[in-house]
């Protein structure tokens, strides 16, 4: 039995930033958090200023802000250096004529330049769309087209995936390279060298744009989740009470900025709190990660269940070779955190792994385990002070303990998305029950107010913590010459949470074969992205469809899991 509602991991002896959970809730007021920021006095604000430049005035200019390494580079930057570099980049954009509110995408692997470009864009009030480096042509095109982005920062290796002739709004392609850059593109290196270190910060309103993160739903193309400057309240607050960041912490968030965890908690929360931020490029390996923890003396570590499961799989001996005694606080996000992993973390790291729940749409953590709180392994924890969450039925009635229902959050909170780009109808769906944000997750709550995740209500797939929309994969699959129809589901997997499984019917003249399976998988990998490519493919003569022609993923899932197929009254035949 993996979940035991009675199991508790008690609080470690320490003095966390947030004392008693109950007291913090009772006395909480967002207006106290607001006092941290310039708008409290001026009415105006800028995320890049608050995260970086403010520290110069407060005596932290020479403090290390960024410790960057990958297999080829090893660098460190102070807050002052990041301030000056991002000033330069904002001048590069100003010279190109970019202005507040325009969309610029950053499409590159982790590197110091990624962080400089992001901060520099924000200084000018430009809205940044971070793109994961694994995205291929179609994925890149869909996102740039939808947001009518005018600029992109990228690398020579990724440049061929940007189809400029199909992107009429894209005017500026900035290429980060030590060598020369292709004709028709702008050299990051040359422009940075020529730009001034002094810059005019664009002072913004709290509701002005910050980021667009594209994420998947169960229907349609990815949605552009739009976040605003005001999110900094949540980032700062949760950085303090959930990450428990203190002045001398060395903090490592393992997420890429292409995902929301890599921006909210890989950039904003640590720097708003003045912490030293570790960024490790390159690929995952247990040896590499443990070396990174040891080498920098990481104190606070934020990662994901898939990574912890892989570390667990690498065996306890692999941990014993490293000195991880600097670690004092460990957190997880992105998928359900298995109780076994929590127990294992306690055994091998001597640390409680604190689960946190939130989503791209929520912009910041909402339901969490805190250093000051007992952990119940398998539970996501309790809402942060300033946030109210509940389990409600479809009519909006709150359900009693242990009854499963919609995980909902009382609106608003500071980092809540402000729109879905180009799609007001999609946005409204989240708020269809007055007063609540409907997450799309199902969960229950226990008598102590702890929340327990149960699953997604829609067909969204969570594979290794990455959200994949079945529709996006199906659309790519049917572009393959052999594929007539495709239905995609998430299949439970011990390491990745879920893997992508595709059911496919073939066009006339094509025969099922292993070669064809491999070719179809490769087609998705090369057209969309590796993480969206099906790991399993099954050929079927016919797929179950409604009379209106919609593929019934629910039936595919029931087939796969040997479950009853449920109501089939709308099926075609």
3-state secondary structure 303-360: ECHHHHHHHHHCCHHHHHCCCCCCCCEEEECCCCCCHHHHHHHHHHCCCCEEEEECCH
Kindly tell me which of 67 and 255 has the beta carbon lying closer to ligand PRX. Answer: 255
Kindly tell me which of 11 and 457 has the beta carbon lying closer to ligand PRX. Answer: 457
Kindly tell me which of 334 and 405 has the beta carbon lying closer to ligand PRX. Answer: 334
User: Which of 166, 169, 165, 144 minimizes the C-alpha distance to 154?
Assistant: 144
The two three-digit tokens of residue 537, written as one number: 């493919």
H/E element, 483: strand 483-493
Alpha carbon distance 420, 424 (integer Å) = 6
Kindly tell me which of 81 and 216 has the beta carbon lying closer to ligand PRX. Answer: 216
Closest distance between ligand PRX and the C-beta of residue 172, in Å?
Answer: 29
Looking up tokens 């292709």, which residue turns up?
A: 182
Closest distance between ligand PRX and the C-beta of residue 213, in Å?
Answer: 8
Q: Which residue's CB comes closest to ligand PRX? A: 360
Alpha carbon distance 486, 369 (integer Å) = 40
Closest distance between ligand PRX and the C-beta of residue 50, in Å?
Answer: 22
Coil, helix or strand for 463? Answer: strand
Kindly tell me which of 125 and 305 has the beta carbon lying closer to ligand PRX. Answer: 305
Closest distance between ligand PRX and the C-beta of residue 560, in Å?
Answer: 19
Closest distance between ligand PRX and the C-beta of residue 379, in Å?
Answer: 9
Pairing of strands 172-175, 186-187: parallel
User: Which of 211, 472, 172 minimizes the C-alpha distance to 162?
Assistant: 172
Closest distance between ligand PRX and the C-beta of residue 297, in Å?
Answer: 26
Q: Which residues bind ligand PRX (CB under 6 A)?
A: 215, 260-261, 333-336, 355-360, 380, 439-441, 453, 456, 462, 467
Kindly tell me which of 81 and 303 has the beta carbon lying closer to ligand PRX. Answer: 303
Closest distance between ligand PRX and the C-beta of residue 466, in Å?
Answer: 7
Kindly tell me which of 380 and 555 has the beta carbon lying closer to ligand PRX. Answer: 380
User: Which of 235, 212, 210, 234 minimizes the C-alpha distance to 222?
Assistant: 212
Kindly tell me which of 55 and 467 has the beta carbon lying closer to ligand PRX. Answer: 467
The two three-digit tokens of residue 435, written as one number: 């007063």
Closest distance between ligand PRX and the C-beta of residue 298, in Å?
Answer: 20
Kindly tell me which of 296 and 437 has the beta carbon lying closer to ligand PRX. Answer: 437
Closest distance between ligand PRX and the C-beta of residue 457, in Å?
Answer: 9
Q: Bin 372: left if φ > 0, else alpha if -120 < ψ < 50, else beta.
A: alpha
Closest distance between ligand PRX and the C-beta of residue 285, in Å?
Answer: 23
Kindly tell me which of 98 and 460 has the beta carbon lying closer to ligand PRX. Answer: 460
How would DSSP label each residue in 382-436? EEPTT--EEEE-TTSPBPPTT--EEEEEES--TT---EETT-HHHHHHTT-STTE
**Which segments of 60-203 does DSSP mark as H helices, in order?**
79-96, 112-123, 137-147, 188-194
Are the beta carbons of 265 and 301 closer than 8 angstroms? no
Kindly report the number of other CB atoms within 10 A of residue 451's CB atom.
24
């Amino acid at each position: 039995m993996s979940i035991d509602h009675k199991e508790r991991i008690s609080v470690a002896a320490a003095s966390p930033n947030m004392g008693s959970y109950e007291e913090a809730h009772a006395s909480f007021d967002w207006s106290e958090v607001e006092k941290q920021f310039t708008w409290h006095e001026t009415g105006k604000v800028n995320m890049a200023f608050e995260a970086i430049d403010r520290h110069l005035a407060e005596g932290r200019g020479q403090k290390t802000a960024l410790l960057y390494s990958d297999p080829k580079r090893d660098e460190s930057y102070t807050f002052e250096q990041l301030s000056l570099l991002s000033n330069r980049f904002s001048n590069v954009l100003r010279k190109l004529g970019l202005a507040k509110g325009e969309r610029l995408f950053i499409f590159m692997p982790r590197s110091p330049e990624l962080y400089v470009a992001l901060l520099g864009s924000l200084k000018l009030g430009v809205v940044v769309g971070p793109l994961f480096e694994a995205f291929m042509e179609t994925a890149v095109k869909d996102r740039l087209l939808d947001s009518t982005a005018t600029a992109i920062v990228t690398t020579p290796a990724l440049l061929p995936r940007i189809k400029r002739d199909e992107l009429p709004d894209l005017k500026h392609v900035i290429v980060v390279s030590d060598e020369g850059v292709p004709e028709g593109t702008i050299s990051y290196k040359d422009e940075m060298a020529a730009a001034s270190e002094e810059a005019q910060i664009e002072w913004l309103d709290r509701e002005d744009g910050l980021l667009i993160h594209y994420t998947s739903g169960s229907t349609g193309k990815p949605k552009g989740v739009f976040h605003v400057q005001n999110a900094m309240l949540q980032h700062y607050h949760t950085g303090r009470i959930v990450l428990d960041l203190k002045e001398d912490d060395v903090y490592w968030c393992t997420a890429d900025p292409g995902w929301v965890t890599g921006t909210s908690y890989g950039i904003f929360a640590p720097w708003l709190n003045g912490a030293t931020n570790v960024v490790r490029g390159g690929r995952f390996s247990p040896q590499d990660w443990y070396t990174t923890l040891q080498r920098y003396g990481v104190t606070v570590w934020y990662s994901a269940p898939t990574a912890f499961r892989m570390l667990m799989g690498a065996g306890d001996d692999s941990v014993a070779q490293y000195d991880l005694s600097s670690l004092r606080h460990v957190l997880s996000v992105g998928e359900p955190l298995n109780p076994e992993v929590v127990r294992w973390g306690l055994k091998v790291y001597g640390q409680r792994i604190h689960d946190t729940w939130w989503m791209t749409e929520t912009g910041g953590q909402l339901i969490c385990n805190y250093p000051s709180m007992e952990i119940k392994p398998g539970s996501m924890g309790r809402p942060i002070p300033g946030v109210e969450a509940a389990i409600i039925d479809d009519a909006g009635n709150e359900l009693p303990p242990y009854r499963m229902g919609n995980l909902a959050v009382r609106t608003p909170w500071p980092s809540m998305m402000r729109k879905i780009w180009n799609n007001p109808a999609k946005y409204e769906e989240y708020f269809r029950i007055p007063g609540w944000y409907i997450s799309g997750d199902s969960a229950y709550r226990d008598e102590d107010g702890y929340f327990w995740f149960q699953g997604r209500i829609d067909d969204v797939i969570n594979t290794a913590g990455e959200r994949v929309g079945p529709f996006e994969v199906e659309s790519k699959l049917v572009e393959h010459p052999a594929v007539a129809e495709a239905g995609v589901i998430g299949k439970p997997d011990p390491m990745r949470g879920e893997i992508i499984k595709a059911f496919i019917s073939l066009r006339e003249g094509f025969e099922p074969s292993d070669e064809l399976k491999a070719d179809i998988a490769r087609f998705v990998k090369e057209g969309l992205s590796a993480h969206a490519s099906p790991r399993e493919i099954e050929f079927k003569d016919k797929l179950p469809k409604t009379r209106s022609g919609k593929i019934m993923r629910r039936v595919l899932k029931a087939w796969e899991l040997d479950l009853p197929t449920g109501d089939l009254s709308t099926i075609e035949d």
